[in-house]
Structure 1
Amino acid sequence: MKGIVLAGGLGTRLYPLTFATNKHLLPVFDKPMIYYPIETLVKAGITEILIVVGGPHAGHFIQVIRNGKTLGVKHLEFAYQEKEGGIADALSLAEDFADDQSVTVILGDNTTDADISKEVSSFDSGALIFLKSVPDAKRFGIAQLDDKDPTKIIKIIEKPTEISTSNHAVTGLYIYDNQV
């Protein structure tokens, strides 16, 4: 299993901080934000990682992360996303890196402390999207689950404007088989 960190966003809502660097490199507590998703992957035993970057400060990632060894990464690659095209576009840049293996994808601003080791080691095929119950569904992408089989997601509604029938937020952490 390989890991992909998506860090191509421009962070325009954090301007003027993002005038100087990418939002994923801003400090959260005692380290750059990007360290948290990398540590989540490494803690799960994933040490081959691709970071998809973009924007005018893409080179800063190399200055901060270097080769990733101090974070426990054994093999680190970067891919440059030329324009904002969302998750699907970013994942298309990872096709060669994935090399027909399953991948764990995590958003670069995901500061979770979740231990996903069990899910990674037991993953067989398909897709696994990590969800979390939240009190205010309007602030998140929400997964609408199948009434008959609540392990299946029917659709994802990005920041619903109406009252949602679900409070299951998409956390920005996914595991996909090689068919994605």
Structure 2
Amino acid sequence: MKGIILAGGNGTRLYPLTKSISKQMLPVYDKPMIYYPLSVLMLAGIKEILIISTPRDIAGFLSLLGNGQKLGIKLEYAIQEEPNGLAEAFTIGESFIGDSPVALVLGDNVFYGSDFGSRLLESSALESGSIIFGCHVADPSAYGVVEVDNEMNIISVEEKPENPKSSFAIPGLYFFDNKVVEIAKNVQPSERGEKEITSIINEYRNNGELKVNIMGRGLAWLDTGTHEALLQASNFVEAIQKRQGLYVACIEEIAYRRQYISKSQLIELAEPLIKTDYGKYLLDIASEKTFQTNK
């Protein structure tokens, strides 16, 4: 399976922070926001990843992450000229996807949970159909919403409904088989003028090829689209890391734990960061002072 991170958009809700920099380059506590969705795909065992961003911001991501070789993965880049909707990611990434299934994660989503890594590995084994997630939230009207019955069969999927039929929001993480490319080509813009991911999800649902993975209370999903939400996400990550001594979305650690890189390569990545707690943490990982992987 291949992966796509959609890190485009203008970030207007975060102005003036994002007037000259991508939202996904802003810090969520001690790491750039892009580290969090990247860590999700790496935890899923996905090593070929396409980052889609704006003409202004693509160079910044290339400078930050390069081609991924130091992490034992392969990163490619593509441009989305205008924020035309999530479904466009699959047509932009058509040549990258090729004949593979694909996972899409939004660049401003933060996930954390004790068994999240195993759920991701199960989802990335997808060969046909599609998988979405459902997360209980206080105000689902701000998101896509999935309605399920008592057996967790999907009844309906709606995009930002005024009167939600359930409290399960659909976070920005999706797994699709290769048919998603052709489905995306036929998606028409909604009233908002965007090609909605919900149109793709409903196509799979109508064909009986959609499954939902409901997140329990032990799994956190944070959207970072507003100043308040960005601060809350940073405070959450700080609390977890200070309490547990284990880092969230540490991409170098994940690369080492997933055996994408060797211990010597991990130490090499840590050395330029040695004056920071982050660099010291990587050295602790290399010396086996910390045993558990972050989820």
Establish whether TM, by shorter chain, passes 0.5: yes
Conservation of the 8 A alpha-carbon contact between 2:146 and 2:154:
no
Deviations 1:10-46 (A, max 9, x none): 1110011101210011010111001111111111110
Counterpart amino acid of residue 123 in structure 2: E
Percent identity of paired positions between Structure 1 and Structure 2: 42
1:100 corresponding residue in structure 2: 99
Q: Which blocks of at least 5 consecutive residues in structure 2 are unaligned?
A: 181-295
Offset at 1:110?
A: 1.2
Measure, in 1, the Cα distance between the counterparts of 2:16 and 2:88: 26
Which residue of 131, 134, 141 corresponds with 1:138? 141
Does the 8 Å CA contact 1:8/1:81 hold for their aligned counterparts?
Answer: yes
CA contact (8 A) 2:9 2:82 kept: no
Q: Distance in 2 between matches of 1:151 and 1:99?
A: 31
1:161 is aligned to 162
Measured after TM superposition, the shift of residue 55 of structure 1 is 4.7
Which runs of structure 2 are paired with 1:56-67 in the superposition (5 Å)?
56-67=56-67
Q: What residue number does 1:41 align with? A: 41
Distance 2:50 2:66 in 1: 13
Q: Which has the larger radius of gyration?
A: 2
Q: Please list the CA deviations of residues 123-177 of structure 1 after superposition, one character each: whole Å capped at 9, or x if unmatched.
A: 23111111111122223221234x486333532222x223x22111011100000
Alignment TM-score, normalising by the size of structure 2: 0.56
Q: Hey, what does 2:255 align to over in structure 1?
A: none
1:89 is aligned to 2:88: yes
Q: Which has the higher strand share?
A: 1
User: Which structure would you say has the larger RCO, counting Cα contacts within 8 Å and 6 or more residues apart?
Assistant: 1
Secondary structure of 1:86's aligned partner: coil
> In 2, Cα distance between the equivalents of 1:73 and 1:15?
35
Where structure 1 has 5 or more consecutive residues not aligned to the other structure, the ranges are none
Q: How many residues are matched?
A: 175
- C-alpha distance in 1, partners of 2:50/2:155? 27
CA RMSD of aligned residues (A): 1.8
- Name the structure with the higher helix share: 2
The residue number in structure 2 matching 1:21 is 21
